[in-house]
Structure 1
Amino acid sequence: YPRNDLLYADDQAGLISEIKARLDIPADKKVVLYAPTWRDDEFIARGKYRFDLQLDLNEMQARLGDDYVVLLRMHYLIAQNMDISGHEGFAYDVSSYGDIAELYLVSDVLITDYSSVFFDYAHLQRPMIFFTYDLEKYASTLRGFYFDFEAVVPGPLLKETDQVIDYIEQIDTKSVAYQEKYDRFLERFCSLDDGTASERVLAELFPSTAQSTIEDETTETE
């Protein structure tokens, strides 16, 4: 996917520093990205949506705040109802941030659930946590899955905030248990990406332009 080319950028360290500065994230803090899926039943009336953040930010800040910040990437229909006051400097609302790939790049760990974001984030080969507090309901009555979710996803399925925090506090050792599963996931879903998808798309859509660009780059290099 062209959108994932950024995840294969050569100067990742430089890009991460730039993005952190843009978001006003301290350079010495690790980053947790929480990007859950949209739930169809999160509405009060037509055009009105409720929001219930299931992660306990108070507990997360108390236990992780010295080393981490949390980026919250919510669906636009509910993001406007999110209140993170009192968590300034720890929780950041990045729901309207333009390019989610930049948020992937700057994050050290992803917390998601059934969202397709984990297919993209996996390219970075960084730890993922699946916060599936409503797994049974989602699987049976809300949407369901088109593959064996529990068997395929390369990370733990957790239902409580304290479980999520415990995992993050020991993430280097705990994530090792999912390495084999992660490798299978990468081979199945990520093996065709190499950071040059945009170039190949341009070559197919505008072959003459793409060839000219390649020739110009070659001349400049020489």
Structure 2
Amino acid sequence: MSPHKEEPPVPWSTDTDVQPTKYNGRPRNVDAIDAIRYAENLQPPQYDIYGTHEDSKILFLDVNILDSTGAEPYPGDVLVEGEKFVAVGNVPNVDALCSDPKVRVVHGRGRTLMSGLGDAHTHFTWNGGDLDRLGDLGVEEHTLLTMRSAQCFLDSGYTMCFGAASAKKRLDVVIRDAINAGDIPGPRYLANGQEMARTDGELVGGITAFADGPDEMRQVIREHVELGVDNIKLSMSGEEVGR
């Protein structure tokens, strides 16, 4: 057995002129994400969502473009036709587009234009309300609160959200379907049902689906699937730690 060799400590630099190397390539995690493959029966449905008319044209002029590729922001123009970006940075025939009455022109004046944000842990039905009283909130008032929450996310730049639990059984599903139909404003959304926990493991009263043991868990999950949820939320050890 060879003797243990201690490595000398790395010297701590106090040179304030040392700058980290900037990375301008594509995001480093793209290949790993693209390589992930899920079973078809585990894929969420491909929802059709009411959106911009296919003949729509929107031209953004003089914007600072953050294109989410890992590159530094850069100045330019952006043209959107229907739901597709057809030109980013350099837009051909800008003068003709600006004079076309069918083209909506947005003057950025140097403001940043970026990709929509995504939230991987969203509670539309919890935000903006009194958490301890969510279980007592009437379904009508709760629906209005959830609609306002969905619009707040969209207005804040979030265009896709992953539901992490719904305070009422079908509320996430109903809001998702209303967004997809164009009835209310909101981001693309994968809906959840009530979080599932063992008896006495709820965070607050009235917002939890209880399941003790594997048989009850299967039954509760089946009920959620029948409601049309995309995700399920398991709180295996209860929510006491969240208090």
TM-score range, shorter chain: under 0.3
More helix by share: 1
Structure of greater Rg: 2
Q: TM-score, normalised by structure 2?
A: 0.25
More strand by share: 2
